[in-house]
């Protein structure tokens, strides 16, 4: 069994687990967070498995994911009101799924700094 066989988000990429897909291209996928912490809460992930931002060096892919977040924010109608993109990386940041993901969150006022 490889690292990706039992990875939750790899399983979503393979459509073994249902998800509300919002956007997709050849390299990345975006779907609604199952436990939204804001009115808009969408995850953008690479289709290829990287455990975290620490493991991803593909600048093109990382750039695409950010642009996807912006595009989705526009589609969700939160580009003007404001939104946050977050990449929790490692234990101290509270990363709970070991597959790189960008949180796109918006639709409410947020505080800074995050807890």
Applying CB under 6 A, which residues contact ligand AMP? Answer: 8, 17, 19, 31, 33-35, 43, 88, 94-97
Residue 99 beta carbon to ligand AMP: minimum distance, rounded to whole angstroms: 8
In terms of CB distance, is 31 or 83 closer to ligand AMP? 31
Our answer to whether residue 103 is catalytic in this structure is no
Cβ pair 27, 64 in contact under 8 A: yes
Cβ pair 22, 69 in contact under 8 A: no
In terms of CB distance, is 83 or 95 closer to ligand AMP? 95
Cβ pair 104, 73 in contact under 8 A: yes
The catalytic position among 27, 41, 99, 101 is 101
Pairing of strands 40-46, 83-86: unpaired
Strand partners, 103: 43, 86
**What does the alpha-carbon distance between residue 50 and residue 98 come to, in Å, rounded to a whole number?**
8
Rg of the chain (C-alpha set): 14
In terms of CB distance, is 75 or 90 closer to ligand AMP? 90
Active-site amino acid positions: 101
């Amino acid at each position: 069994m490889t690292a990706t066989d039992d990875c939750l988000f790899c399983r979503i990429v393979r459509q073994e687990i249902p998800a509300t897909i919002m956007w997709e291209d050849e390299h990345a996928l975006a779907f609604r967070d199952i436990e939204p912490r804001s009115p808009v809460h969408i995850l953008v992930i690479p289709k290829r498995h990287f455990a975290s931002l620490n493991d991803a060096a593909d600048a093109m892919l990382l750039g695409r994911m950010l642009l996807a977040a912006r595009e989705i924010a526009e589609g969700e109608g939160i580009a003007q009101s404001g939104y946050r993109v977050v990449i929790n990386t490692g234990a101290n940041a509270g990363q709970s799924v070991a597959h790189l993901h960008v949180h796109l969150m918006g639709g409410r006022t947020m505080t800074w700094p995050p807890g």
